[in-house]
Structure 1
Amino acid sequence: MSELIKHECGIAIVRLLKPLSYYQEKYGSVLWGFNKLFLLMEKQHNRGQDGAGIGAVKLGMPPGEAYMFRERDNSRNPISKVISKQLKLYNDLLERNIIVPEFPWTVKEHWPFGAEVLIGHLRYGTSGGYDKAVCQPYFRKSPWPTRNLMLAGNFNMTNVDQLNERLIGRGAHPIFDTDTQTVLEEIGYHLDEEHTRLYHELRDRNVPNDEIAGTISQKLEPADILAEASRDWDGGYAFGGLIGNGDAFLLRDPHGIRPAYFFQDDEVVAMASERVALMTIFEKTADEVNEVRPGHAVVVKNTGEFYEKQVMVPLERRSCSFERIYFSRGNDPEIYAERKALGGALADQVIEAVHGDISHSVFSFVPNTAEIAYYGLVDEMRRRCRQHYVDDILQAQEEGRLDRDAIERILADKWLRMEKIAHKDIKLRTFISQEKNRVQMASHVYDITYGVVEPEDYLVVVDDSIVRGTTLKRSIIRILSKTNPKKIIIASTAPQIRYPDCYGIDMSELGKFIAFQAAVELNRESGNEAILQEIYAECVSELEKPAEEVRNCVKRLYEPFTDEQISAKIAQLVTPKKNGWKGEVQVLYQTIDNLHASCPLNSGDWYFTGDYPTPGGMAVVNRAYIYYYEKKEGRSY
């Protein structure tokens, strides 16, 4: 993905199952759990750089002592800032002999994060702005431990307005800042209800007052509360939460759109958005880390009891394929294999684009996130070349002309040329990101390698996805053309992105998608511009229907044209004008069939196909078109 797309947030939870003294004795550090939380967040830093937050619950604190803490930061390098602040406090207390690591109870008593239950969050802002106040975890406070709630999520809800209206109908006064606030209040409402029910039940049974709080904590069932709260949620989500009594949970949506993983041993339960982070930090194998099942919650009670429970009826699995293509770290064994498969699946199109002339083709990739897919394409091309070598050598042998020179000629004819052509200037990218309207400077984000591409060569460059095409036009095509090939072929491992995402990725404005722009241009060029107004009228009408009856009207825009026609128009749109280079640009896209074959367990494809898994998605795509037609900017949900 050569242009920056903000996307999925990250969650990390560490629940220590032993007293702090255990980790001091075994690992030589009372900060073992805190350090694991930091590393778990750092290994997922790709998931959020707009802010970070951590929270903690201390178990068994006496009345009158604080037991729940939170720290957040939205400055540059927020993970380091939020962790460093607490470590600075720890070292200050250490120097003043207020805490003594050899006596872990002093750490627990005096340092906020000397806790057994820890949560972390990495934020990519898709709503609510970028203030520190909207960094997670969110915190709902009460003097009753079992009514305190801390929440961190990786999600977007498509029906926040309806959820807020329900809160208002109960007499609440919700603050309309982010989806998280709405979800926090909804879960909090049912937490309050259950707390109150249990309180009255115990009081009516004449349970002694000093035993009521502990009994409520014991009987409280987070999974049941989540089941009540989530009845009308529409979106893609994974939520991690801590309750003030020490209960912790991680909930996943019924379609499994957002990722969530966990593992348990006799020392710790840990949860995260990415499996490989848990594997690396806790030295676990892939088999030891489990995926949270769609519609389920994993719960750790304050007693240490651990279980997974269904809270919603699981629906058709539609896990986000962009996690596999781009978002999640590629060193996960499954994701690595899938990205290679995505690259290999492009081979037929690439061979056709270079007219089978492998010896005059140079293969490369851009950006770095496309590297694994590039290896997959290269492996598949090598396999096919090897087959050609075998066939040609056997034929030469049968014809009696097999000698060293013949073998050299056969190998040269299909020898794969692989080069590192584009290099991103990270420092320049960082500098530009702090400024606006730096289009000319952005064209220099990439440097190239000169002298390896000849004028008669095809230059094949693998990209993982093409969303808006702006970086291609302003930077990548310009810089690649300086190598002076006869043709530049950009091969995207993702299909054409035609529709907005509303379940976590910040891709909500239709008019910015290069595939959408191409379809609009093709309709205009074919004399069918009236379809734009017709679709607008249909979208307006569609939004008046009940949610479950809404259909995607925007599909009509693409129906008159083949994928190849749209790809050809995209190539025209991203080719810079007045560049001085006389070559040709071709853009290839992954097919939907190959996408699903490469990522068989992650079939979420609504941004490619327009087939949304929830009614809210159908409403969002129609509303996004209305916004486009009315020239209105902003999210359509």
Structure 2
Amino acid sequence: MSDQIKHECGIAIVRLLKPLRYYRDKYDDLLYGFQKLFLLMEKQHNRGQDGAGIGCVKLNTPPGESFMERERDNGRNPIANVVKKVMKDYQKKLNTQIFPEFPETYKKHFPFGGEVLMGHLRYGTSGGYDKSVCQPYFRRSPWPTRNLMLAGNFNMTNVEDLNAKLIARGAHPIFNTDTQTVLEEIGYHLDEEHQRLYHELRDGGTPSDQIAAIISERMDLVSILKQAAEDWDGGYTLAGLIGNGDCFVTRDALGIRPAYYFANDEVVAFASERVALMTIFDQHEGDVKEIAPGSAVVVKGSGELIVGQVREPAPQRASCSFERIYFSRGNDPVIYKERKALGGALSDQIIDAIDDDFAHSVFSFIPNTAETAYYGLMDELRVRRRQQVKNAILDAQAKGPLSDALIDELIMGNWPRGEKIAHKDIKIRTFISQESNRVTLASHVYDITYGQIESGVDNLVCIDDSIVRGTTLKRSILRILARTEPKQIIIASTAPQIRYPDCYGIDMSELGKFIAFQATIELLNETGAADLIREVYRDCLAQAELPAAEMVNHVKRLYEHFETECISNKVAELVTPKNGDWNGEVKVIFQSIENLHQSCPENTGDWYFTGNYPTPGGYAVLNRAFINFYEDREGRSY
């Protein structure tokens, strides 16, 4: 993705099922669980670089000793920073020989020497960027079953309503982030269940020294989550640790945010990405299970694994298609296949754009994350060319014997040619405040391979994952590619036009910043249809106070005024640099919605492309986003 956007946090849980001594004896490693957590986080570092946090629960801790720990960091390289802090303490105690021999001593003296470990990677979309908003969040109590540590990959669209519900109960919530809101909602029902069980046991004559253990055993997290999630509107994967050793991961009913787990007799582990679990625990694809939409997977303090239904799953799931296009790591076997398919699906449009002239076209990709789609495109172009050659040979044979010269012409000429034109050399940190200087620095992020393009003759086709704002394309990438002096530059996006804001995890909420929206507004003004913009604004205002479930997508009418290709052409015009020595043509090609769904059949969530939001809250966010645009107000719309 040439435009940098914030998105998609990551979660990880490692639940050890054996005594700590087992891992020392089998793997010669007291830090087995902690190291696995660290590796799971590192393998998902693509999911969050604004902060990281870890949490731990120790089972069967004697009264008076700490049983839950947390560490967070929001600096550069936050995963490494968190681990360094923890390991510094570990190494210090190891060097003083406080606990080199026995797991029991290790567990007592090492804060993260527990059996239940959680990690979180943060991309900030709300609440600022200081350490206090890094997850996991922690709700403390001297009763283990009332302690809750929570982390997630999510956004709720109706936080105001959820906070109002808390206030109506008499709570005094801190309006920080939706994480705090969700933490308090789950915590409320956790407290209620604890109190119910406590009074039931006490009034039934259970000895007081047995009550805590029985509460821990009977605590039904699936039921608690079901009550807490009743009014949630959003996309979420939530992970939690309870002080008694119970842990859970739950997922929204539409399956918007991803979640996976695997279990054997040694460990249960959860992650946002399947391939992380496959790699770190040496598992096959079939061993790692997806958490079903609307369900929760719970591991009790006893080690019992429970799968239960929290929300009724939606008739049609709406898993985020951006996970497949860009966000998730591409070494997952299914995602790799889908990204190749996305590249191949662009072949018809690209062949048309170059007028079937493979001989004078060079194919490449930018940025590096588009490389897999590039391979898919090249595979498909070669298939098309082989078919052309086959047909030409058959036609020539029908007219007489084939000569060497004719065979060379048919087979050797006009083949798709791929080159690595742009190399990402180093990420130059654009800390300089002046905008002009940041643009200058960004233009040196990539090095160009010179001498591969025939000046003024060859087409340069570059695959991109998606085009969001078009800013980087205009200010940096097209200027870089123009140094090779091609006849025309064709940017082909594996994603369709991004037309609508996201509110379920991706930080794309300012409608006026999307290049496809900008192009549409320009076209409406140019064609004398600006009245439609004002009309849509009035209609959005008219429904602004309605319940979200009664809102409709008025913004869609703006796009319906033009063919997709017309908007693409205007996008190309808007991103073409206006100064410089190169005078070639820029074309921009976008994936079709149909090809997107054919390439990624299981991840059908496409609201940012189509405006078809899977929950009512999405329409409320869109409505606010358009009002903000029209009134020239910046800021997130949820």
Aligned-pair CA distance for 1:546: 2.5
Asked if structure 2 preserves the Cα contact closer than 8 Å seen for 1:3 and 1:471, the reply is yes
Deviation sequence 1:575-624 (CA, Å, 0-9, x none) = 00022211110000000000000000100000000000000000000100
Paired with 2:335 and 2:489, the residues of 1 have a C-alpha distance of 28
Deviation sequence 1:491-520 (CA, Å, 0-9, x none) = 000000000000000100001000000000
Deviation sequence 1:305-346 (CA, Å, 0-9, x none) = 002111110002000000000000000001000000000000
User: Is the partner of 2:415 in helix, strand or coil?
Assistant: coil
Deviation sequence 1:186-214 (CA, Å, 0-9, x none) = 00000000001101100110111111111
Letter in 2 for 1:282: F
| Residue matched to 1:468 | 469
Letter in 2 for 1:499: Y
- Report the TM-score when normalising by structure 2: 0.98
User: Given the alignment of the two structures, is residue 458 of structure 1 paired with residue 450 of structure 2, yes or no?
Assistant: no
User: Is the partner of 1:154 in helix, strand or coil?
Assistant: strand
Asked if structure 2 preserves the Cα contact closer than 8 Å seen for 1:155 and 1:258, the reply is yes
User: Given the alignment of the two structures, is residue 129 of structure 1 paired with residue 128 of structure 2, yes or no?
Assistant: yes
Aligned-pair CA distance for 1:393: 2.3
Paired with 1:406 and 1:37, the residues of 2 have a C-alpha distance of 62
User: Is the partner of 2:120 in helix, strand or coil?
Assistant: strand
Asked if structure 2 preserves the Cα contact closer than 8 Å seen for 1:263 and 1:270, the reply is yes
Paired with 2:626 and 2:599, the residues of 1 have a C-alpha distance of 31
Paired with 2:556 and 2:400, the residues of 1 have a C-alpha distance of 59
Letter in 2 for 1:28: D
Select between 541-550 and 459-468 the one with higher mean Cα deviation. Answer: 541-550
Letter in 2 for 1:29: D
Paired with 2:548 and 2:500, the residues of 1 have a C-alpha distance of 18
| Residue matched to 1:631 | 632
| Residue matched to 2:597 | 596
Deviation sequence 1:440-480 (CA, Å, 0-9, x none) = 32223222111101121111100010000001100111111
Aligned-pair CA distance for 1:530: 1.5
| Residue matched to 2:374 | 374
Closer/same/farther in 2, CA of residues 436 and 284 from structure 1, 3 Å limit: farther
Aligned-pair CA distance for 1:556: 1.2
Letter in 1 for 2:609: F
| Residue matched to 2:74 | 74
Paired with 1:6 and 1:313, the residues of 2 have a C-alpha distance of 30
User: Given the alignment of the two structures, is residue 302 of structure 1 paired with residue 301 of structure 2, yes or no?
Assistant: yes
Paired with 1:16 and 1:621, the residues of 2 have a C-alpha distance of 44
Q: CA RMSD in A?
A: 1.0
Paired with 1:413 and 1:164, the residues of 2 have a C-alpha distance of 67
| Residue matched to 1:521 | 522
Letter in 2 for 1:559: E
Select between 291-300 and 418-427 the one with higher mean Cα deviation. Answer: 418-427
| Residue matched to 1:568 | 569
| Residue matched to 2:354 | 354
| Residue matched to 1:432 | 430
Paired with 1:13 and 1:320, the residues of 2 have a C-alpha distance of 22
| Residue matched to 2:582 | 581
| Residue matched to 2:205 | 206
Aligned-pair CA distance for 1:347: 0.4
Paired with 2:474 and 2:548, the residues of 1 have a C-alpha distance of 39
Aligned-pair CA distance for 1:434: 6.5
- Report the TM-score when normalising by structure 1: 0.98
Alignment map for 1:29-44 (pairs within 5 Å): 29-44=29-44
| Residue matched to 2:160 | 161
Alignment map for 1:130-145 (pairs within 5 Å): 130-145=129-144
Paired with 1:216 and 1:434, the residues of 2 have a C-alpha distance of 56
Aligned-pair CA distance for 1:403: 3.0
User: Given the alignment of the two structures, is residue 186 of structure 1 paired with residue 181 of structure 2, yes or no?
Assistant: no
Letter in 2 for 1:335: I
User: Is the partner of 2:268 in helix, strand or coil?
Assistant: strand
Paired with 1:352 and 1:83, the residues of 2 have a C-alpha distance of 52
| Residue matched to 1:504 | 505
Alignment map for 1:87-102 (pairs within 5 Å): 87-100=87-100, 102=101
Paired with 2:444 and 2:95, the residues of 1 have a C-alpha distance of 49
| Residue matched to 1:555 | 556
Letter in 2 for 1:168: I
Deviation sequence 1:52-85 (CA, Å, 0-9, x none) = 0000000000111110000000000000010111
Paired with 2:513 and 2:423, the residues of 1 have a C-alpha distance of 26
| Residue matched to 2:227 | 228
User: Is the partner of 1:524 in helix, strand or coil?
Assistant: helix
Aligned-pair CA distance for 1:635: 0.8
Aligned-pair CA distance for 1:414: 2.6
Aligned-pair CA distance for 1:532: 1.6
Select between 436-445 and 418-427 the one with higher mean Cα deviation. Answer: 436-445
Paired with 2:564 and 2:589, the residues of 1 have a C-alpha distance of 10
| Residue matched to 1:275 | 274
Which structure 1 residue ranges, 5 or more long, are not aligned?
none
Paired with 1:93 and 1:210, the residues of 2 have a C-alpha distance of 34
Select between 9-18 and 431-440 the one with higher mean Cα deviation. Answer: 431-440
Letter in 1 for 2:430: I
Paired with 2:369 and 2:486, the residues of 1 have a C-alpha distance of 24
Paired with 1:148 and 1:592, the residues of 2 have a C-alpha distance of 45
User: Is the partner of 1:263 in helix, strand or coil?
Assistant: strand
| Residue matched to 2:447 | 447
* Alignment coverage as a number of residue pairs: 634
Paired with 1:173 and 1:401, the residues of 2 have a C-alpha distance of 89
Asked if structure 2 preserves the Cα contact closer than 8 Å seen for 1:359 and 1:412, the reply is no
| Residue matched to 1:335 | 335
Closer/same/farther in 2, CA of residues 238 and 150 from structure 1, 3 Å limit: same
Aligned-pair CA distance for 1:87: 1.1
Letter in 1 for 2:546: K
| Residue matched to 1:46 | 46
Paired with 2:173 and 2:432, the residues of 1 have a C-alpha distance of 34
User: Is the partner of 1:612 in helix, strand or coil?
Assistant: coil
Aligned-pair CA distance for 1:120: 0.1
Aligned-pair CA distance for 1:289: 0.2
Aligned-pair CA distance for 1:411: 2.2
Asked if structure 2 preserves the Cα contact closer than 8 Å seen for 1:297 and 1:310, the reply is yes
